[in-house]
Chains A and B, each alone.
Chain A
Amino acid sequence: MNYTFTLRTIYPYLGELWQAAAVTLWLSSLAIVLSIALGAGIAVLRRSRLRLLRVLGAVYVEIMRNTPLLVILYVVYFAAPAIGIRLSSFVAALLGLTLNSAGYMAEILRAGLIAVAPGQFEAAQSQGMTGWQVFRHVVFPQVFRTIYAPLGNQVIAVILASSLASAVAVEDVASWMQTVGSTSFRFFETFVIAAIVYLVLCQTVNIARLLIGRWLFRQGATR
């Protein structure tokens, strides 16, 4: 087939691409921050003394890790109104992404908490450290070191997963690709441009993570 690669027809839509990229970035940043918070809550739940809370946390993680994000998005956007929860596209996508990502964040953070040997709390306390000091100087550095690499992976995963928000009418980069592709009929060009946008976003995170990691943990490897 004679397909000539031509960007000329795409030019008029490039303005919308920046907007779309901003939406992708904003959506994934919010989802990352919120899912870390929610994930931390669940990780703590999973280390609770109460069995019920532990089970609850485990059930949440299993559900989120075993259900496709696309289905979660459909449920949050199209099915939730049946019980009176009517969300806009953006909020629904944010909620779906956050709920899903929190399942993974919880596991990452839990692994981090496990990495801190239990005896250290007592040891630090016997040194006369306050709760905050224990967290700041003993717990946090160890947890952070353990979760650093998987956290970076999860950040990239959320950026990639945010592309599914187009299914619930969020105007992100993946939506731009499909809309412009089908109005300008230059599908191949729009695929390439959209792929480049995601590639740049994810590799920026990836490289920043490597550099920051190298600087933070100068003596050890992070990957």
Chain B
Amino acid sequence: MIAYLPLMLRAAGTTLWLSWLAMLIGAFGGTLLALVHMQRIAPFRWLAIAYMEFFRSVPILIVMFFAYYGVPLVLGLDLSPFAAATLALALHASATMSEVVRAGIGSVGHGQWEAAQAAGFTWLQTMRHIIAPQALRVVLPPSIGVFITTLKESSLASIIGYIELTRTGLLVRDSTGGGFAPLLALGVLYFLINYAISQIGAALERRFQTGSRIETVGAMA
């Protein structure tokens, strides 16, 4: 078991990379979605809401299966297990992130929009120089929670055959005669990684005391 520890650590790196990439795409997607959601034109808003509600109501396991098997069947686009897992996690993360970003933008007082407009700022300039910097401080801490959720969700990539941390743990179990130590080691590794990240999140939260706080989003996965 000890001999396999370096392997599991390397697999932990794979899991981190997978979740980080998914989170990055999810953050951009979520921001985009939040901006669409804030438009005055109703159909845009409906579209954003439908997207969010869909991903809030369908298990990530199904999204992952769909990305891996469904997308090639229907679209003829062949995704590797890594790409499929990244896509599924990113789609899911973007739904959560859009709410975080929306709350972040909403936390900036309306008066500032008006003041910026009165000063002759365009929408883009207002967003870029006034709203975004303030919103970012509010958005960052709960994003850490979303990242942890994504990292935990990435364990499901093992089911579609991607060799990340969970799958490696199971393979180690199979290679070492089915003992329970590898499974416990898995739990410990995930805990250590996520706990470390959550501590970073807590530090950020302390540093960015902004008054308006979004509840740290962290979901069961």
Which residue numbers of A lie inside 8 Å of B, CB to CB? 1, 3, 62-63, 65-72, 74-75, 78-80, 82, 100-101, 104, 150, 153-154, 156-158, 160-161, 163-164, 166-167, 174, 177-178, 181, 187-188, 191, 194-195, 198-199, 201-203, 206
**Cβ of B73 and Cβ of A70 under 8 Å apart?**
no
Interface SS majority for chain A = helix
Could you list 12 A-B pairs, sorted by A, with CB under 8 Å? A1-B74, A66-B191, A68-B155, A74-B186, A75-B183, A79-B180, A153-B219, A158-B220, A163-B61, A163-B62, A188-B69, A195-B58
Instruction: Let me know if B179 is at the binding interface, CB within 8 A.
Output: yes
Binding-face segment, B28-36, B49-57, B203-211: B49-57
Residues of B within 8 A of A68 (CB): 152-153, 155, 166, 190, 221
**Cβ of A67 and Cβ of B179 under 8 Å apart?**
no
Q: How many Å lie between the Cα of A75 and that of B72 in the bound state? A: 33
Nearest chain B residue, comparing its CB with the CB of A163: B59
**Cβ of B62 and Cβ of A79 under 8 Å apart?**
no
**Cβ of A69 and Cβ of B152 under 8 Å apart?**
yes
Interface SS majority for chain B = helix
Chain B residues within 8 Å of chain A by Cβ, number = 44
**Cβ of B58 and Cβ of A198 under 8 Å apart?**
yes
Kindly list the 8 A-B residue pairs having the minimum CB-CB distance in the complex, ordered from nearest.
Answer: A79-B180, A66-B194, A202-B57, A163-B59, A68-B155, A68-B152, A82-B180, A157-B220
Q: How many Å lie between the Cα of A111 and that of B25 in the bound state? A: 32
Q: How many Å lie between the Cα of A189 and that of B81 in the bound state? A: 21
> Max chain A CB contacts within 10 Å: which of B74, B180, B220?
B220
Instruction: Let me know if B76 is at the binding interface, CB within 8 A.
Output: yes
Which of the residues A69, A188, A201 comes within 8 Å of B220, measured between beta carbons? Answer: A69
- Closest approach, in angstroms, between the C-beta of B118 and any C-beta of chain A? 30
Q: Known interface pairs A70-B166, A187-B70. Does A167 touch B159 (Cβ–Cβ under 8 Å)?
A: yes
Q: Known interface pairs A68-B153, A75-B184. Does A188 touch B74 (Cβ–Cβ under 8 Å)?
A: yes
Residues of B within 8 A of A158 (CB): 220
Q: What mask results when residues 180 to 204 of chain B are scored 1 for a CB within 8 Å of chain A, else 0?
A: 1001101100110011001000000
Residues of B within 8 A of A201 (CB): 57
Residues of A within 8 A of B60 (CB): 160
Residues of A within 8 A of B72 (CB): 1
Which of the residues A70, A82, A198 comes within 8 Å of B155, measured between beta carbons? Answer: A70
**Cβ of A1 and Cβ of B221 under 8 Å apart?**
no
- Closest approach, in angstroms, between the C-beta of A172 and any C-beta of chain B? 10
- Closest approach, in angstroms, between the C-beta of B48 and any C-beta of chain A? 16
Q: What mask results when residues 63 to 80 of chain B are scored 1 for a CB within 8 Å of chain A, else 0?
A: 001100110111010000
- Closest approach, in angstroms, between the C-beta of B93 and any C-beta of chain A? 14
Q: How many Å lie between the Cα of A70 and that of B148 in the bound state? A: 14
Q: How many Å lie between the Cα of A218 and that of B8 in the bound state? A: 53
**Cβ of B56 and Cβ of A156 under 8 Å apart?**
yes
- Closest approach, in angstroms, between the C-beta of B128 and any C-beta of chain A? 29
- Closest approach, in angstroms, between the C-beta of B77 and any C-beta of chain A? 9
- Closest approach, in angstroms, between the C-beta of A106 and any C-beta of chain B? 13
Q: How many Å lie between the Cα of A167 and that of B53 in the bound state? A: 26
- Closest approach, in angstroms, between the C-beta of B46 and any C-beta of chain A? 15
Residues of B within 8 A of A69 (CB): 152, 220-221
Q: What mask results when residues 155 to 166 of chain B are scored 1 for a CB within 8 Å of chain A, else 0?
A: 110110000001
Residues of A within 8 A of B198 (CB): 62, 65-66
**Cβ of B155 and Cβ of A191 under 8 Å apart?**
no
Given contacts A68-B166, A82-B180, A157-B219, 11 further A-B contacts (CB under 8 A): A62-B195, A66-B194, A68-B155, A71-B166, A71-B169, A82-B179, A161-B221, A167-B159, A187-B73, A199-B54, A206-B57
**Cβ of A72 and Cβ of B187 under 8 Å apart?**
yes
Nearest chain A residue, comparing its CB with the CB of B194: A66
Q: What mask results when residues 32 to 43 of chain B are scored 1 for a CB within 8 Å of chain A, else 0?
A: 000000000000
Residues of A within 8 A of B215 (CB): 150
Residues of B within 8 A of A203 (CB): 53, 57
Residues of A within 8 A of B69 (CB): 181, 187-188, 191
Q: How many Å lie between the Cα of A2 and that of B189 in the bound state? A: 44
